[in-house]
Amino acid sequence: MKSNTNNSRSVNSTVGGAKRPPRIPIGHWLGVLPFFVFSGMFLIAPTLVLAYRSLEGPEGGLTLDNYRQLASDTVMNSYGMSIKISLTTAILGGLIGFVIAWVVSMGGLPPRFRLITTTFSGVAANFAGVPLATAYVFTLGRVGLVTALFKMFGVNLYKTGFSLYSFFGLTLVYLYFQIPLMVLTILPALDGLKREWREAAENLGATQIQYWRYVALPVLTPSILGTMILLFGNSFGAHATAYALTGGLFDLATLLIGRQISGDVLHNPGLGYAVAMGMVFIMAFSIFIYSILQRRSERWLK
């Protein structure tokens, strides 16, 4: 079956520019065809549809109006909250995750703790969504166990203005999968710190602190930064946990899009698509920066 027409979009656009390798049997293209068909149909095409429709004006022509309207209050509030939470959980999760990774790899704990930590991190990262939200409701919700414990000591959490369904609450919940993601991603980088670097530094007269300040931390910085950016993207695009926690009614970019799917809450379909594409741009940008930093750190840590 000649398949040049089917995969023309993805294949030609990749081979275009580079000269076509001669005489590669069609059978080889068949092997990768399903992959391109699937990703084309269920990843690329839907996104392209959104992109196209976001540029569609109410009359049908192409316009950037929808993107200009992103500056409106409703949208900005949701985006702003998403960015606030994502920045906070990225930095906090990054720092705490780094410290934990350091503790289990070179902090002097028994080696078994490392395996326990990595397995649990995998679980915790996957726990996100309804189970995580449920767990927190039972912990810090109005009738949660910890809330009740506080009451026993005379502290009424919710009277002090605390609420699980707020910036603070969501940050607390999001850290539950952000910290493990950081731990899992940064451990290989910590392993990449060669023992000889520390020994050479000591041999040349440096203390532990000087070694970390002048050698280890600079070498690790691209990885740490890159992973924090990964964390940012992860939090920015998260939907399920927030939905389960707040019923979809909170001011968050992903929840806004969710409401838009169920009905035109923005009173402007084009704007809805622009909001969605805006998310894609932000995510694409962060993944891009992440891969640059990843490449830099690999150069030093391989």
Partner 1 sequence: MSYLSISHVTKQYGDTVVVDDFNLDIEKGEFVSFLGPSGCGKTTTLRMVAGFEIPTAGKILLDGADITDKAPNQRNVGMIFQAYALFPNMTVAQNIGFGLSVRKESKEMVAQRVDEMISLVNLEKHATKYPYQLSGGQQQRVSLARALAIHPQVLLLDEPLSALDAKIRVSLRAEIRTIQKKLGITAIFVTHDQEEALSISDRIVVMNSGLMEQVGTPFEIYNFPTTVFAANFVGSLNNASAEVVDPANSLISIDGVQFESGIDLKERRKGDKVRVAIRPERLSFASEQKKANVVDATIENITFLGSVVRIQLKIGNTKFNMDTFNNPFLELPKIGAIEQVTCSREAVLVLDE
Partner 2 sequence: MTTTPVSPAIATNKRPVTTQRLGSWLIYLVVSLYFLIPLAATFYWSLRGKKDVLSFEAYRKLFADTSFLPAFSQSIINAIATIFLCLLIVVPTAYWVTLRLPKLRPVVEFITLLPFVIPAVVLVFGIIRLYSAPPLLFTATYNSSRVVLICVYVCLSFPYMFRSVDNGLRAIDVRTLTEAAQSLGANWVTILFRVIFPNLRVALLSGALLTFAIVIGELTIALYMAQHTLGPYMSDLTRSKVYEPSAMAIVAFAITWAAMGIIDFVGRGASRQAQKTEAE
Q: Applying CB under 8 A, which residues contact partner 1?
A: 194, 196-197, 199-207, 210, 214-215, 218-219, 299-301
Q: Which stretch binds partner 2 (CB under 8 A): 58-66, 119-127, 185-193, 218-226?
A: 119-127
Say whether 163 sits in a helix, a strand or coil: coil
Among the listed residues 263, 240, 288, the one whose alpha carbon sits nearest the alpha carbon of residue 125? 240
- Nearer to partner 1 (CB atom), residue 16 or residue 205: 205
Q: Does 155 bind partner 2 (CB under 8 A)?
A: no
Contact call for residues 108 and 242 (beta carbons, < 8 A): no
Angle at 233 between CA 227 and CA 238, to 5 degrees: 125
Residue 200 binds which entry of partner 1, partner 2, none, CB below 5-8 Å type-dependent: partner 1
Distance CA 242, CA 174 (A): 9
Q: How far is the CB of 255 from partner 2 (least distance, A)?
A: 8
Residue 194 binds which entry of partner 2, partner 1, none, CB below 5-8 Å type-dependent: partner 1
Residue 219 binds which entry of partner 2, partner 1, none, CB below 5-8 Å type-dependent: partner 1
- Nearer to partner 1 (CB atom), residue 107 or residue 218: 218
Distance CA 296, CA 55 (A): 36
Q: How far is the CB of 297 from partner 1 (least distance, A)?
A: 10
Residue 21 binds which entry of partner 2, partner 1, none, CB below 5-8 Å type-dependent: partner 2
* Tokens describing residue 218: 């600079």
* Cα-based distances in Å from 115 to 106, 118, 171: 13, 5, 27
Q: How far is the CB of 183 from partner 2 (least distance, A)?
A: 10
For tokens 């830099």, name the residue. 296
* Tokens describing residue 108: 């002097």
Angle at 298 between CA 237 and CA 190, to 5 degrees: 80
* Tokens describing residue 126: 């996957």
Residue 152 binds which entry of partner 1, partner 2, none, CB below 5-8 Å type-dependent: none
* Tokens describing residue 121: 């991190």
| Residues 159-218, interacting with partner 2 (CB under 8 A) | 175-176, 179
Q: How many residues bind partner 2 (CB under 8 A)?
A: 84
Amino acid type, 201: A
Q: Does 239 bind partner 2 (CB under 8 A)?
A: yes
211 Cβ contact list (under 8 Å, min separation 6): 197, 198, 201, 202
Q: How far is the CB of 95 from partner 2 (least distance, A)?
A: 11
The site string for partner 2 over 130-149 (x = CB under 8 A, - otherwise) reads xxxxxxxxxx----xxx---
Amino acid type, 81: M
Q: How far is the CB of 253 from partner 2 (least distance, A)?
A: 9
- Nearer to partner 1 (CB atom), residue 193 or residue 228: 193
| Residues 44-63, interacting with partner 2 (CB under 8 A) | 44-47, 49-50, 53
